[in-house]
Amino acid sequence: MSADLVHPSLLYRNLYVSVLNQKGIALQATIPAGLDRKEADLYRHLDPERLPKHIAIIMDGNGRWARRRHMPRIAGHRAGVAAVRSTVETAARIPIPALTLYAFSEENWKKRPKSEVDFLMRLLGRYLKMEVPRLNKNNIRLEYIGRQQELPESVQERMEWARRSTETNTGMVLTLALNYSARTELVDAFRSLVQAAAHNGGIDHLHVDEEAIGRHLYTKHLPDPDLVVRTSGEMRLSNFLLWQLAYAEIYVTPTLWPDFRGHHLLEGIAEYQKRERRYGGLNDNHAHHLVSETARG
């Protein structure tokens, strides 16, 4: 076992630790490079073999964060950018293959004051310009879900530029949900299914099953999330990935989004690893019991 502390700023590199997996077998885990001390301490207790393949996050609480400081709501959104950066980079480092952030819902677009929506659009544009070099440095590929065509043209152009600037990266896929609604996604998927059938011999060729629907969702490039995180203590899915979250574990933290950092994500993953995922079946003990009872007749 070797511990190799490489940087005075508390960054760890190639630090080997033992972690017990579910069966109690010791695994040799490497602390990924770039984690700070707090993150490394949390990572050490995780089973690297059971990290979620896809984490979805409902970023919430920017307004409350600002109100508590007697600041305008937009100050909360501005502070939220640091939380996005920390979360994205920690997720990419450990590594999580896919991270999806609910940045802007269709309802936000329709129900918030124009001044706030305009600010969010400018913030997104600035974020993309600023972050592309960091995304490239961290080998992160950027994608989007939502009705992009309804966003301002200048934002769409910036989004396309950022997507293309990161498209050859092979690490984590970061998907931003922008002007996103899960119900609208399903409407668009059904329309797309019907259109595909129309181009392929007509409605008699319409074949609908779960796989077919999945292929027409905005998230066709992603596995379903294993874990959904919501900040600010709210217990709702708010029209986010309703189809894809069917079997996801839900982790709600009282932390407001602007205060959320990589170590909070690792706390969520630790909680996820304590859960037993059954997908509607029985756990191993129950299943074993049932098999023995059946064998006994």
Q: What's the closest the beta carbon of residue 224 comes to ligand FPP, in angstroms? A: 22
Residues in contact with ligand FPP, counted by CB under 6 A, come to a total of 18
Please tell me which residue in 60, 62, 138, 169 is annotated as part of the active site: 60
Question: Helices (H) and strands (E) in the chain — how many of each?
Answer: 10, 10
Question: For residues 62 and 90, which CB has a smaller minimum distance to ligand FPP in the complex?
Answer: 62
**Tokens of residue 242, six digits:** 């309703």
Q: Is residue 60 a contact residue for ligand FPP (CB under 6 A)?
A: yes
Binding to ligand FPP (CB under 6 A): which residues in 16-35?
none
Binding to ligand FPP (CB under 6 A): which residues in 218-237?
232
Q: What's the closest the beta carbon of residue 81 comes to ligand FPP, in angstroms? A: 5
Q: What's the closest the beta carbon of residue 145 comes to ligand FPP, in angstroms? A: 13
Interacting residues of 37 by C-beta distance below 8 A, sequence separation 6+: 10, 12
Binding to ligand FPP (CB under 6 A): which residues in 93-132?
103, 108, 123-124, 127
Instruction: Return the SS3 of 142.
Output: strand
Per-residue binding letters, 176-195, with ligand FPP (x by CB under 6 A): x-------------------
Q: Is the peptide bond before 95 cis (omega within 30 degrees of 0)?
A: yes
Let me know if 108 is a catalytic residue.
yes
Cα separation, 205 vs 66, in Å, equals 53
Please tell me which residue in 14, 36, 41, 108 is annotated as part of the active site: 108
Residue 186 CB neighbours (<10 A) = 15
Residue 148 · residue 179 · CB < 8 Å: yes
Beta-ladder partners of 46? none
DSSP state for residue 18 in the 8-state scheme: E
Residues that bind ligand FPP (CB under 6 A): 59-64, 77, 80-81, 84, 103, 108, 123-124, 127, 176, 232, 257
Residues belonging to the active site:
60, 108
